[in-house]
Amino acid sequence: MRNNLQVRLIARPVGMPRAEDFRIEEASVPEVSEGELLVQVRYISLDPAMRGWMDDRPSYLPPVGLGQVMRATAIGEVLQSRSTLFKAGDCVMGHLGVQTVAVVRAQAVRRVDTTLAPIDVHIGLLSTAGLTAYFGLLDTGQPLAGETVVVSGAAGAVGSVVGQIARIKGCRAVGVAGGSDKCTFLTDTLGYDRAVDYKADDFKLQLAGACANGIDVFFDNVGNPVLDLALRYINLRARIVLCGAISQYNSTGKVDGPQNYIALIVKRAMMKGLIVFDYESRYAEATAQLAAWWRSGSVVYRADVTQGIERFHEALLRLFAGKTKGKAVLQV
Ligand X SMILES: NC(=O)c1ccc[n+]([C@@H]2O[C@H](COP(=O)([O-])OP(=O)(O)OC[C@H]3O[C@@H](n4cnc5c(N)ncnc54)[C@H](OP(=O)(O)O)[C@@H]3O)[C@@H](O)[C@H]2O)c1
Q: Write out the residues near ligand X by the rule CB under 6 A.
A: 47-49, 128-129, 132, 153, 155-159, 177-178, 182, 221-222, 243-247, 274-276, 319-320, 322, 324, 328
Measured from the CB atom, the residue of 38 and 241 that comes closer to ligand X is 241
Shortest distance, position 135 Cβ to ligand X, whole Å: 8
Measured from the CB atom, the residue of 81 and 132 that comes closer to ligand X is 132
- Which residues lie across from 40 on neighbouring strands? 77, 101
Measured from the CB atom, the residue of 99 and 152 that comes closer to ligand X is 152
Shortest distance, position 75 Cβ to ligand X, whole Å: 16
Measured from the CB atom, the residue of 41 and 319 that comes closer to ligand X is 319
Measured from the CB atom, the residue of 94 and 159 that comes closer to ligand X is 159
Q: Assess contact for 101 and 29: CB atoms under 8 A.
A: yes
- 3-class SS at 316? helix
Shortest distance, position 298 Cβ to ligand X, whole Å: 20
Q: Which of 136, 275, 294 is nearest to 218 (CA)?
A: 136
Measured from the CB atom, the residue of 199 and 237 that comes closer to ligand X is 199
Shortest distance, position 132 Cβ to ligand X, whole Å: 4
Containing H/E element for 248?
A: none
C-alpha–C-alpha distance, residues 133 and 268, integer Å: 24
Shortest distance, position 311 Cβ to ligand X, whole Å: 17
- Which residues lie across from 321 on neighbouring strands? none
Torsions phi, psi for 247 (to 5 deg):
-65, -15
- Which residues lie across from 272 on neighbouring strands? 241
Shortest distance, position 286 Cβ to ligand X, whole Å: 13
C-alpha–C-alpha distance, residues 37 and 105, integer Å: 6
C-alpha–C-alpha distance, residues 173 and 148, integer Å: 6
Alpha helix positions (H), the chain: 49-53, 119-122, 128-135, 157-168, 180-184, 203-210, 226-231, 262-266, 283-296, 312-320
Shortest distance, position 170 Cβ to ligand X, whole Å: 23
Measured from the CB atom, the residue of 32 and 274 that comes closer to ligand X is 274
Measured from the CB atom, the residue of 275 and 300 that comes closer to ligand X is 275
Shortest distance, position 275 Cβ to ligand X, whole Å: 4
| One-character DSSP codes across 185-222 | IIIIIS--SEEEETTSTTHHHHHHHHTTT-EEEEEESS
- Which residues lie across from 45 on neighbouring strands? 329
Please, how many CA atoms are within 13 Å of residue 306, restricted to the half-sphere of its CB? Answer: 22
Torsions phi, psi for 63 (to 5 deg):
-65, 155
